[in-house]
Amino acid sequence: MKLVREVTLACAGWAAVALAAQTPATFTAEQDHQNMMDQLGIKALRPGYSGDENAPNHANYDETKANAYSNVPDPLTMNDGEKVTTAKMWWEKRRPQLVEMFDEYVYGRVPAHVPPVKWTVKAVDHERIGFNAVIAKDLIGEVDNSAYPAIHVGIHMTLVTPANAKGPAPVLIMFGRAGFPAPNEPNAEEMERINKAWKALMVQQDPGLKEVFDAHPAWEPVKATPFQFPQLNADGGLPNTWQLIADGWGFALLDPASVQADNGAGLTRGIIGLVNKGQPRKPDDWGALRAWAWGAGRALEYLETDAAVDGKHVGIEGVSRYGKAALVTMAFDQRFAMVLVGSSGKGGATLLRRNFGEGVENLTGGEYYWMAGNFMKYGASEATFGSKTLGDIPVDSNELIALCAPRLTFISYGIPAKGDAKWLDHEGSFMATVDASRVFRLLGAKGLDVEGDYRTAKMPPVNQGLLDGELAWRQHDGGHTDAPNMKYFIAWADKFMGRQAPGR
């Protein structure tokens, strides 16, 4: 009996170990943040800045103090100082070097063996966007979790394409909530059948309702949704999706949260947690921005198989944190043909070395989960390696934009007066875009047509776009959105695709 008991206890012990191995770690964001600090040997971080100009730790908005760090890295200089003078040298040497540094120090590495994704069309609806018939497909991309069943990842995307297109349509993937945009309702005859059945069921449940229905014969429990005019964009234009469909484009709504949660507590779940088998990240593991970009790549792989989609002309779009993710997607995944980067700020198109508005310290504090763990080093005030500042980051956003070259790259902002806060540092994004122009030109494309370099070039007036090249800039007079720039983006992209839109 003693032996049986010992064997039973041993089996129970092994079962507990096996269960623990299958159960994802559960951390709060604060615990996960501290775990990464411990891994890196960081004892203290400089606090992030406040966007409130009256707060004690307010962000700097004095332009004379913004460029304290003059060592903005040169995208056309190798790490050993050798100058990049040919397109061949860019593709074979410098670009891989930049990708490696962004992987290691900023956004984190996508693991070599991320599980495959199987896409399934869950439903198809024939809808209307504006006055145009469309076909909407709701899709789920199931990530293979056979190696770790405790975590499930289902990528949610809705694809909408023109119903009467003469051929495959270009498609813009848009980071945001997925779902049918304009569900098709039953027609009048079908609605009549529904109401008869509904009344019969209610009378069956409560016979006394027959008297009520007889007294009100014209009343119907289910009514068609009355026509509503669309909510116009801030510039008075039609919604972005209406504009795309009217121009003969399709669009895909891709839910980033279905790939990876937008918080630190979720890092042991989602695609990052699945690959790590529910355990915390290592310092060079990918953060949420790179995970969302990975999800966009998987969406593109589905679109390349859909006959309604021109797989060679698929773009990516996002605003704010999703603007960062859109730029990261374009920079790392050369299959994307175009990008619309909306109000992306630090971690996106704005120079990290600019001391203006949002700081690197904000990205190493509450927003740390967007980035690789290693990025936290640049906010360290006390650590086993000493301390580091934004001036120590080996790459910057001018080089991130350069990684998009020579493909179509549109950098978009609004104005602070309408809600596109100074926090985003519009000037810092313009500077980075100007400097990235040199790489576009090296690769045979056209950058921004401005006088001077990134230190001296003057940002154009609001609503005056620089749209003549494959790298474009426009600051509209709206708020924290790219909607007022959508019509300019569509026309600009059509021009470079050599595409004649319907009715143009």
Q: What is the pLDDT of residues 421-473, one digit of tens each?
A: 999 999 999 999 999 999 999 999 999 999 999 999 999 999 999 999 999 99
Query: CB–CB of 79/100 below 8 Å?
Result: no
Alpha-carbon span 350 to 40, nearest angstrom: 26
Torsions phi, psi of 256, nearest 5? -65, -35
Please name which of 196, 201, 203, 190 lies closest in space to residue 219, comparing C-alpha atoms.
196
Please name which of 300, 288, 446 lies closest in space to residue 369, comparing C-alpha atoms.
288
Query: CB–CB of 328/103 below 8 Å?
Result: no
The mean per-residue pLDDT over the stretch 497-503 comes to: 80
Torsions phi, psi of 134, nearest 5? -135, 160
Query: Which helix (H) or strand (E) segment is 159 a member of?
Result: strand 154-162
pLDDT tier for residue 16 given thresholds of 50, 70 and 90: very low
Alpha-carbon span 370 to 349, nearest angstrom: 15
Query: CB–CB of 241/250 below 8 Å?
Result: no
The residue count of the chain comes to 504
Determine the pLDDT at residue 400. Answer: 98
Asked if residue 131 has pLDDT above 70, the reply is yes
SS3 of residue 47 by DSSP:
coil
Domain ranges of the chain: 63-182+234-497
Please name which of 403, 340, 336 lies closest in space to residue 103, comparing C-alpha atoms.
403
Give the residues across from 383 on adjacent strands.
Answer: 42, 386
Alpha-carbon span 479 to 395, nearest angstrom: 29
Place of tokens 């007294």: 215
The mean per-residue pLDDT over the stretch 106-124 comes to: 97
Give the residues across from 120 on adjacent strands.
Answer: 140
Determine the pLDDT at residue 51. Answer: 87
Alpha-carbon span 15 to 104, nearest angstrom: 37
pLDDT tier for residue 238 given thresholds of 50, 70 and 90: confident
Asked if residue 325 has pLDDT above 90, the reply is yes
Which amino acid makes up residue 221?
P
Place of tokens 């679109």: 303
Phi-psi region of 498 (alpha: psi -120 to 50; beta: other; left: phi over 0): left
How far CA 38 is from CA of 107, 242, 288, 371, 391, in Å, comes to: 19, 49, 20, 17, 23
Lowest mean pLDDT among 179-188, 318-327, 406-415: 179-188
Which amino acid makes up residue 428?
G
Hey, how many other C-beta atoms are within 10 angstroms of the C-beta on 275? 25
Please name which of 477, 478, 438 lies closest in space to residue 77, comparing C-alpha atoms.
438
Alpha-carbon span 125 to 106, nearest angstrom: 41
Determine how β-strand 338-342 pairs with β-strand 250-254.
Answer: unpaired
Asked if residue 230 has pLDDT above 70, the reply is no
Q: In the predicted model, what is the mean pLDDT of the chain?
A: 93
| Position with higher pLDDT, 236 vs 325 | 325
Q: What is the pLDDT of residues 253-310, one digit of tens each?
A: 999 999 999 999 999 999 999 999 999 999 999 999 999 999 999 999 999 999 999 9
Give the residues across from 158 on adjacent strands.
Answer: 138, 253
Q: 63-182+234-497 sits in which CATH class? A: alpha beta
